[in-house]
Amino acid sequence: MEKAAGRLAFCCGTRTIAKTLQIRGLLQSATMHDTEEEAVADRL
């Protein structure tokens, strides 16, 4: 993803999912959003 200048944006997850992603270190290279629209807008 980084080589292609891409990033992951997760959306519509629960607090448990967000915490799990954070603990696993996945939010260091991704973002978490409440809605799909927010996730897409953040990537543009």
Identify whether 2 is part of a domain: no
Identify whether 36 is part of a domain: yes
Whether the per-residue pLDDT at 25 is higher than 80: the answer is: yes
Residue 5: pLDDT band by 50, 70, 90 thresholds? confident
Identify whether 3 is part of a domain: no
Question: Per the structure, how many domains does the chain have?
Answer: 1
Identify whether 39 is part of a domain: yes
Residue 22 has a pLDDT of 92
Identify whether 25 is part of a domain: yes
Identify whether 29 is part of a domain: yes
Instruction: Enter the pTM of the model.
Output: 0.69
Identify whether 26 is part of a domain: yes
Distance CA 39, CA 10 (A): 7
Structure tokens at 6: 């891409």
Check: CB of residue 11 under 8 Å from CB of residue 33.
yes
Whether the per-residue pLDDT at 16 is higher than 90: the answer is: yes
Q: Taken in order 27, 29, 33, 35, is the CA torsion positive or negative? A: negative
Residue 29 has a pLDDT of 82
Which range of residues forms the domain containing residue 30?
8-43
Find the largest Cα–Cα distance for the chain.
30
